[in-house]
Amino acid sequence: MNDLSDEYLKQALECERMAKNSITEQDRATWLRLAQEWMRLLRPTHGTETAQADQKDWPSGSGEDSGTSH
């Protein structure tokens, strides 16, 4: 992986860690959404079937942000 990809993966894993430690479901959903966005940056932008299949494994968020900064 290149340096940028390594950083994206590091950020995604940190967001997953924060999600696991979240107290509220809203915070958990927000952290998981952020992790998903970091992982999206690792994928090619041309919407392959593999990228779409990978996304189905991510939990969906509630659609609401808690408004709490972390």
- Structure confidence by residue, pLDDT tens digits, 34-46: 999 999 998 865 5
| pTM: predicted TM-score of the whole model, two decimal places | 0.60
User: Do residues 32 and 19 lie in contact, with contact meaning Cβ atoms separated by under 8 Å?
Assistant: yes
> For position 62, what pLDDT does the model report?
53
Q: Dmax of the chain from CA atoms?
A: 36
> For position 42, what pLDDT does the model report?
87
Could you tell me the two tokens for 28?
A: 């958990």
Q: Cα–Cα distances in Å, from 55 out to 21, 24, 25, 35, 45? A: 22, 23, 20, 11, 13
Side-chain half-sphere of 15: how many Cα atoms within 13 Å? Answer: 19
Mean pLDDT of 18-29: 98
For the cut 80, the answer to whether the pLDDT of residue 54 exceeds it is no
